[in-house]
Amino acid sequence: MMGLLELEKLTKEYQRGGRYFNAVNHVSLTVEPGDFISIIGRSGSGKTTLLNMSAGLLRPTEGTVLFEGNDIHRLKDKELSFLRNEKIGYVPQGQSLLSNFTVFDNVCIPWSLFRREGDVEGRVFILLEKVGISHLADSYPKELSGGEMRRAAIARSLINEPQLLIADEPTGDLDVETTAEIMRLFSRIAQEGTAVLIVTHELDTLDYGNKTYSMDAGKLLPHTA
Ligand SMILES: Nc1ncnc2c1ncn2[C@@H]1O[C@H](COP(=O)(O)OP(=O)(O)OP(=O)(O)O)[C@@H](O)[C@H]1O
Ligand SMILES: [Mg+2]
């Protein structure tokens, strides 16, 4: 069976101070529908670089990213934008909400980018409810805590019912209890058939995934406890 997402020898070379190095070094990984994959690794090990290439946001130096069998880095800009908008939910590392938009409008953005029909308002509220911030729908990002902004970004990533959810340290600013809630939410999403791929610093979030890897100096290895 073909995976939903297949990374083949994915590599990103960077140059700094006249020295070349592989931030991501020949990484291969298959993600199936319903998988919940966690990647743990130290700061600077290449996690964000790997996710950005997997989501089509960053072009690899070498290797391929196949989504449903298509090499996404060979798509035209518009085709790639559409595929990303339609099929891939992305929660970036750090604050990513638009400051002039309310939480409600931020969550709507991916839905509004392409013409769509249906009850988006109802869906936004269901998602805000799921992440526990429906009372903040009309608030602006600057009125939110770091964890509340993170939860809004998670709701936004789910608005188009993606087949693949990619999240870069989604529980970075969250307390233990909220972290557990978010991880359980991701488990449910995976059980409903969406593939979930997250990177994390925290060991305690690893319990939720069905496959765990660690990243070390650009190399991806199965994680052993
Ligand atoms: N545009 C760039 N040019 C040069 N080097 C870069 C660039 N972007 C990232 N790097 C380097 O590549 C390596 C991997 O960075 P990356 O952001 O993927 O790490 P990370 O594992 O996500 O770290 P963190 O846990 O701190 O978020 C780091 O050494 C970083 O300094
Ligand atoms: Mg990172």
Q: 189-204 burial, b for 16+ CB within 10 Å, e for fewer?
A: bbeeebbbbbbbeeee
Query: What is the per-residue pLDDT for 61?
Result: 98
Pocket of ligand 1 (CB under 6 A): 14, 16, 23, 41, 43-49, 93
Query: What is this structure's pTM?
Result: 0.95
In the chain, domain spans: 5-96+163-222
Give 11-41 pLDDT, tens digit per residue. Answer: 999 999 999 999 999 999 999 999 999 999 9
In the structure, ligand 2 is a single-atom ion and the residues with CB under 5 Å from it are 47-48, 93
Q: Closest ligand 1 atom, CA of 52?
A: 18
Give 124-151 pLDDT, tens digit per residue. Answer: 999 999 999 999 999 999 999 988 999 9
Query: What is the per-residue pLDDT for 1?
Result: 58
- Minimal-distance CA residue to ligand 1 atom 2: 14
- Minimal-distance CA residue to ligand 1 atom 31: 44
Q: Which fold has domain 5-96+163-222?
A: Rossmann fold (3.40.50)
Q: How far is the CA of 135 from the centre of ligand 2 (A)?
A: 30
Query: What is the per-residue pLDDT for 82?
Result: 94
Query: What is the per-residue pLDDT for 172?
Result: 82
Three-state SS for the chain is CCCCEEEEEEEEEEEECCEEEEEEEEEEEEECCCCEEEEEECCCCCHHHHHHHHCCCCCCCEEEEEECCEEHHHCCHHHHHHHHHHHEEEECCCCCCCCCCCHHHHHHHHHHCCCCCCCHHHHHHHHHHHCCCHHHCCCCHHHCCHHHHHHHHHHHHHCCCCCEEEEECCCCCCCHHHHHHHHHHHHHHHHCCCEEEEEECCHHHHHHCCEEEEEECCEEEECCC
Low-confidence ranges of the chain (pLDDT < 70): 1, 225
